[in-house]
Amino acid sequence: MGKKNRKIIIPAVFILAIAVAGYSLFKFGEHGEKTPAASPRERSAAVQNTPADSKKNSNSGDSGWGDESGWGNGNAEAPTVQISRAKQQLINVKIATAEIEPMQKAIRTVGVVTYDETRLATVNTKVAGWIEKLYVDYTGMYVKKGQPLAKIYSPELYATQQEYLNVLKWAGKDKKKDKKNGAGGDGAEAGPMGAMGVGRMLANDARSMVAAARQRLKLYDIPGGEIKRIEATGRPIRDLTIYSPVSGYIVQKDAVVGLKAAPGQTLFNVADLSRVWVLADVYEDDLSLVGTGQWADISIGAFPGKVFRARIDYVYPSISGQTRTAKVRFSIPNPGMKLKPQMYSDVLINSNLGRRLVIPASAVIDTGMRQVVYVDKGGGNFEPREITTGVKTDTMVEVLKGLKPGDRVASEGTFLIDSESRLEGVTK
């Protein structure tokens, strides 16, 4: 080998040695940042994570999250993953404390304005007949209580009135005859089977028949004033006038001139809109959080910026099979009739749940099989722990089991901590 080649090789070997030494120092510094020597905690974790122990745990069916500390039995110390302070800053780890605080859940849903069913009335007749005149000829018209709606001719009702007049005439004749017999005096028999006794019996029967005929007309919805007019004129009324039973709007009109109406057939539906209902849908998961008497804020797009405050009036007992929701009902005053049926609304129900142990919702990692949090044990060590959660809100979650007040958990950067834990074999 010539001098020239030797001069080239020596510097190359020197440069390669420097590179190897630098790489070794870099790796040593990286691992040295975690820990220069195995701590008793790490040695304990290493012993627990032996293949033999893993096999024993899998055979026994223990998931490794049995006690409140979340790992194994009470004698062994739970394994941890160590994240240096520099790495915590890099992945933006934040710590939150489990505390008992007042908890409130906001349930947001949608609703629709509808009629107050207790303020609906149906107008029909109790006899068959033909409609001869309409006083209300379009849907949506406002009517007052007692306002005439239509006139109907009924042969059956006409015959009933004629029978009533006949009974009246017969009762009047018997009354005159009874007075005449009573005035005759001397030859009249006063016993129960005498002329006076028979007259009184007939008079009582006549009064009973008149009362029954009058009651029959009332049951056909003929007003008392019309019955007195029949008695005064001695002639039946050809047409029966139908009146509105309540004040409100005509929301359904099936009556037309010339229609033959059957007994009980709906001619008009009248709705009083001075008070309306709002029916909102609540998912079955939230049903345990709502009940009658709870306040809600109702917003309607037609009135931006206006909020209607109302209490839950009723929770319906069934759930829709398609939407998996149940109806809750609110009753709202409607001055000026501004709220119209079928208007859509946004409903916000605030449910106060009392004081509960809570942590930030971002602290919980849901694997699908269990919920895990990383408890800050100090010194950069984080212990994975399984918990049981309860009610969830937008920002907080209730803890039923696995934590106690004062425990510190990672609330930010949890997924990166979980990734590091899996890489080191602390969790699976």
- What's the pTM value of the predicted model, to 2 decimals? 0.66
Distance CA 368, CA 360 (A): 19
Per-residue pLDDT at 40 exceeds 50: no
Per-residue pLDDT reduced to its tens digit, 248-265: 999 999 999 999 999 999
Q: Are strands 239-243 and 81-82 parallel, antiparallel or unpaired?
A: unpaired
Distance CA 126, CA 263 (A): 5
Give the relative orientation of helices 195-219 and 155-184 as an angle to the nearest 10 degrees: 160
DSSP bridge pairs for 108:
348
Of 40, 53, 113, nearest to 275 (Cα)?
113
Average the pLDDT over 126-154 and give the result.
94
Among the four given CATH numbers 2.40.110.20, 1.20.272.10, 2.40.420.20, 3.60.40.10, the one describing domain 51-104+355-423: 2.40.420.20
- pLDDT at residue number 287: 92
- pLDDT at residue number 47: 33
Average the pLDDT over 182-198 and give the result.
51
Distance CA 214, CA 211 (A): 5
Number of Cβ atoms within 10 Å of the Cβ of 259: 17
pLDDT-derived band of residue 419, with 50, 70 and 90 as boundaries? confident
Enumerate the domain spans of the chain: 51-104+355-423, 107-117+272-352, 124-270
- pLDDT at residue number 63: 36
Give a three-class secondary structure readout of 37-82: CCCHHHHHHHHHCCHHHHHHHHHHCCCCCCCCCCCCCCCCCCCCEE
426: Cα within 13 Å, side-chain hemisphere:
27
- pLDDT at residue number 199: 57
- pLDDT at residue number 176: 56
pLDDT-derived band of residue 211, with 50, 70 and 90 as boundaries? confident
- The architecture in CATH of the region 107-117+272-352 reads Beta Barrel (2.40)
295: Cα within 13 Å, side-chain hemisphere:
6
Per-residue pLDDT at 44 exceeds 70: no
Of 127-131, 182-186, 307-311, 413-417, least confident by mean pLDDT is 182-186
Round the average pLDDT of the chain to a whole number and report it: 80
Q: 362: burial class by Cβ within 10 Å (0-12, 13-18, 19+)?
A: middle
- pLDDT at residue number 303: 93
Per-residue pLDDT at 36 exceeds 60: no
CATH topology of domain 124-270: OB fold (Dihydrolipoamide Acetyltransferase, E2P) (2.40.50)
Per-residue pLDDT reduced to its tens digit, 350-399: 998 899 999 999 999 998 888 999 999 998 899 999 999 999 988 999 99
Q: What percent of the chain has pLDDT over 90?
A: 49
- pLDDT at residue number 231: 86
Per-residue pLDDT at 66 exceeds 50: no
- pLDDT at residue number 357: 95
Per-residue pLDDT at 35 exceeds 70: no
Q: Quote the Cα angle for 349-319-333, to 5°.
A: 45
Of 142-146, 175-179, 367-371, least confident by mean pLDDT is 175-179
- pLDDT at residue number 171: 76
Of 35-39, 77-81, 111-115, 418-422, least confident by mean pLDDT is 35-39
Q: What percent of the chain has pLDDT over 70?
A: 75
- pLDDT at residue number 412: 92
Average the pLDDT over 101-127 and give the result.
94
Per-residue pLDDT at 267 exceeds 70: yes
